[in-house]
Structure 1
Amino acid sequence: MSTQTSPSALIPEPPKKIVYIDHLKVVLTVLVVLHHTFITYGAPGGWYYSQKTTHVGAIIPMTMFVAINQAFFMGFFFFLSACFIPSSYRKKGAARFVTDRLIRLGIPLVFYSFVLSPILSYLVYYFAEGHHITYMQYLGGFDGWIDFGVLWFVAALLLFTLIYVLWKLIAGNYRLKPTAVPKTGTIVLAAIATGVVSFLVRTVFPVGWVLKPLGFQLSYFTQYIVLFIVGLIAADNNWLATLADKTGKQMARLVILLVILFPVFYVIKVVMNTPLEWYSGGMHWQSLLYAVWEQLIGFSIITALLSYGKKLWNKPSVLLQNLSRYTFGVYIFHPLVLISTALAFRNLAIDPAIKLLFVAPLVVVCSFLLAAIIVKIPGVKKVI
């Protein structure tokens, strides 16, 4: 099962002078919820429950949305998380830092795997598949206890963080030479290089291949590793503050161009009658083309959002600050809200593409409301 998403609240609260990071957390979290809702109703990808439309006119824009989303939002989460790790490590020291990470990341992993995941599976088993047995009867035959689901990101972030701590303990006070914030050309070259490496990785681990039980789709991990490392470097060199407006504008224009070019993939498939799987991996030029496009648009969107966020969204907002506080809760519990809502409307006799139009905003709102309630439970706010 592919459950690609990310826990934005694992990104520590930024100082007031960069409050736009809080705003970006909210935007990215909404995209997480929408991503899985689009997959539920027609976009390619795996999810606990789906009721997909068959109308090509709806499938194409849905596919564009999840493809563009996948190209940047997960990598962006790794980048932003890494940006605040060095300062937290210096402040707390290795022992306290690791303990804090194990609490913040480990407890949600255990909760999701042993509590929430069986409930989600049971809802689908009972309502969608029509097996009317009790929950306790279901648990008697349940064997998927180690299932991180959407929390695969938490597991990956914990792994990356522990590797960082190990490196710091070995390297001591060693630091890389100061590096200026990269300009457009450097970012583009880095994106192309990441795309080429991603293509090579996908010859062995194509898109859709999942490392069980961690839930890692290794086809995407080249970008995640690169952007996590870049986030660490950015933190030590103050890149968030020094990113040029000109670079952001240039990357925004590149985003527009790359979005316009997306239908070319569909044209190639139709004209050359090539299998869709050739874009997902293997020694096919289509896979190389898509991997490079994916990284180019991903790096471009991230850079543009950072630039425009600093310029336009760096103003305190009580509403957005409160919503930002709930983002980790939304991340953990939005599958419960989405699956329950989709099951509630499953017998409504309209096309799934139409359902998407009202289910998507409903799930976003209800996920934030549920998270707002959950974080008020004593003890919970210390974790999420």
Structure 2
Amino acid sequence: MTHDPGRPAVTVGPEPATGRPKPAARLFYIDNLRIVLTALVVLHHTAVTYGHIPAWYYTEPAKDGSGLALDAFVMFNQAFFMGFFFMIAGYFTPSSYGRKGTRPFLRDRLKRLGIPLLAFILLIRPLVNFSGYTALRAQLAEQGRDLPYWLYYGLSWDAGPMWFVEVLLVFSLVYALVRHRRARGLAGPGSEGAGVRAPERAPRPLRPFAIVTFTLGLALATYLWRFVVPNGSYLPVLGLPTPSYLPQYASFFVIGVLAHRHGWPQTLSRVAGRVGFAVATVATLAYLPVVVTAGNGVLDGRGSWQSLAGAAWESTFAVGVVLGLTVLFRERFHRQGPVAAFLSRHAFAVYLTHAAVLVGLGYAFRWLHTLAVVKFALVAVLALPLCWAVAYAVRRLPRADRVL
């Protein structure tokens, strides 16, 4: 989900003799972070399948208390993992734009993001969404009405999990327009400015005050946004399942851009990582009583004090976990063997195809009646390797590896 899915890299500066960029340095720890986040996406939707949140193509709502554990897992994931994806994408956007210029950059975005988006909508979505069609068609048949599939497909259109790609395309377009206008201004009237590069900057440490200020600002923006777009909202045209998180997605993308510009990931200390995890833990413990005692719907937004507490927890938890994971992976997981390299190369294809795998497994184990958490564990153990196997097969198709 970076500028070049599966191949994160940075330009490390111009060569003195030629002025051309040096070969890109692989950031293996970000590669490895993307593997973990992609696996979390698969596990997240598996948990939705067997929990109490009816927000997936195939669900079996839990009939026992273990479903609450799956709902909690979904809540913790949702608080940070898609924002982290947007931050990683934002981090690699400036170097991609700097190498290509405006028009090639946008063409590349349309190819690497637009083609997979269309592939999901036209090829995968009809497969995974068919259960919804059969259920609705049966209901209408009892009333003597018919529902052709083409009508259902059009009326129920959405991008599914590829909403991330859809939003990232918008963010990339906005970024390119801003950079293009800024470059034209620097180059003077009449210049396209496509080849103007930002000057090289020495890494600048990220100050604690800036982190705290950003976290407070994000919490306030999220709280105010949810006056209008509370949790549980859905944008049917764009297919966004979590529009209440847009302040986080947009701000994390911007932070990723700034992190590239100032070299923040390289300047974060080990103490910053430990403090990030500690703050996320303390914030969670403080927030738990609010969750346990909150009435139905009061956490969703619309100005309740509980929604302010929820926005504060989400923002603090997300920032703390992102800081902690960034430092942890930079210090402990900044290398790759053949297995990790394979997983990284196919991560974006997993994101594209995992819905079909999970829905297929859901139907395959529909007969099994057991605890929700047990069924989640069984399907998850099978889904993770199967998702990467399917991704490998898809990337073996002619020209698919040029896009995925």
TM-score, reference length from structure 2: 0.85
8 A contact 1:42–1:59 mirrored in 2: yes
Q: Which residue does the alignment assign to 1:13?
A: 8
1:256 paired with 2:265, answer no
8 A contact 2:2–2:90 mirrored in 1: no
1:210 paired with 2:234, answer yes
Alignment of 1:336-355 (within 5 A): 336-355=356-375
Q: Which moved more, 1:216-225 or 1:250-259?
A: 250-259
Which consecutive residues of structure 2, in runs of 5 or more, have no partner in the other structure? 10-23, 142-146, 187-197
Q: Which residue does the alignment assign to 1:59?
A: 67
8 A contact 2:6–2:344 mirrored in 1: no
The structural deviation recorded for 1:16 is: 4.5
Percent identical pairs in the alignment equals: 31
Of the three residues 90, 96, 102, the one matched with 2:104 is: 96
Following the alignment from structure 1 to structure 2, what is the Cα–Cα distance between the partners of residues 141 and 251? 46
1:106 paired with 2:117, answer no
Q: Which residue does the alignment assign to 1:85?
A: 93
**SS in structure 1 of the partner of residue 228 of structure 2:** coil
Q: Which residue does the alignment assign to 2:20?
A: none
Residue type of the alignment partner of 2:312? V
Q: Which residue does the alignment assign to 1:25?
A: 34
**SS in structure 1 of the partner of residue 318 of structure 2:** helix
The structural deviation recorded for 1:141 is: 5.3
1:39 paired with 2:59, answer no
In the TM superposition, what whole-angstrom CA distance separates every residue of 1:72-112 from its partner, at most 9, and x where no partner exists?
11110111011111111111121111111111111112121
In the TM superposition, what whole-angstrom CA distance separates every residue of 1:161-183 from its partner, at most 9, and x where no partner exists?
01111001111176699883323
8 A contact 1:17–1:314 mirrored in 2: no
Residue type of the alignment partner of 1:105? L
Structure of larger gyration radius = 2
8 A contact 1:7–1:153 mirrored in 2: no
1:189 paired with 2:213, answer yes
Q: Which residue does the alignment assign to 2:16?
A: none
1:163 paired with 2:174, answer yes
8 A contact 1:9–1:327 mirrored in 2: no
In the TM superposition, what whole-angstrom CA distance separates every residue of 1:134-188 from its partner, at most 9, and x where no partner exists?
xx96447532474211111101000000111100111117669988332334313
Q: Which residue does the alignment assign to 1:302?
A: 322
Q: How many residues align?
A: 370
1:332 paired with 2:349, answer no
Following the alignment from structure 1 to structure 2, what is the Cα–Cα distance between the partners of residues 17 and 165? 24
Q: Which contiguous aligned blocks of 4+ residues in structure 1 show a shift greater than 4 angstroms?
A: 6-9, 123-131, 173-179
8 A contact 1:114–1:146 mirrored in 2: no
The structural deviation recorded for 1:123 is: 4.4
Q: Which residue does the alignment assign to 2:161?
A: 150
Structure with the greater relative contact order (CA < 8 A, sep ≥ 6): 1 or 2? 1
Q: Which residue does the alignment assign to 1:3?
A: none
Of the three residues 245, 250, 262, the one matched with 1:225 is: 250
8 A contact 2:287–2:310 mirrored in 1: no
Following the alignment from structure 1 to structure 2, what is the Cα–Cα distance between the partners of residues 226 and 43? 29
**SS in structure 1 of the partner of residue 368 of structure 2:** coil
